[in-house]
Amino acid sequence: MATKTSTPQSSDSSKSTAKSSKARATKAAHASSPAVLIHGQPAYAESAGEAYMNAAQKTHFRAILEAWKRELMEEVDRTLHYMQDESANLPDPVDRASQEEEFSLELRTRDRERKLIRKIDETLKSLDEDDYGYCATCGEKIGIRRLEARPTATLCIDCKTLAEIKEKQLQG
Ligand SMILES: [Zn+2]
Per-residue pLDDT at 35: 64
Which domains, from first to last, does the chain contain?
14-171 (1.20.120.910)
- Cα-to-centroid distance, 72 and ligand 1 (Å): 28
- Cα-to-centroid distance, 159 and ligand 1 (Å): 4
Torsions phi, psi for 83 (to 5 deg): -70, -35
- Cα-to-centroid distance, 46 and ligand 1 (Å): 22
- Cα-to-centroid distance, 133 and ligand 1 (Å): 11
pLDDT in tens, 68-93: 999 999 998 888 888 777 776 778 88
Express as a percent the part of the chain with pLDDT over 70.
78
pLDDT at 147 over 60: yes
pLDDT in tens, 15-71: 444 444 444 444 444 444 546 799 999 999 999 999 999 999 999 999 999 999 999
Average pLDDT, stretch 142-162? 97
Per-residue pLDDT at 100: 87
- Specify burial of residue 165 (Cβ count, 10 A radius: 0-12, 13-18, 19+): exposed
What is the spatial distance between Cα 21 and Cα 4, in angstroms, rounded to a whole number? 7
Per-residue pLDDT at 82: 80
Between 26 and 111, residue with greater pLDDT: 111
Average pLDDT, stretch 122-133? 97
Average pLDDT, stretch 112-140? 96
Between 66 and 12, residue with greater pLDDT: 66
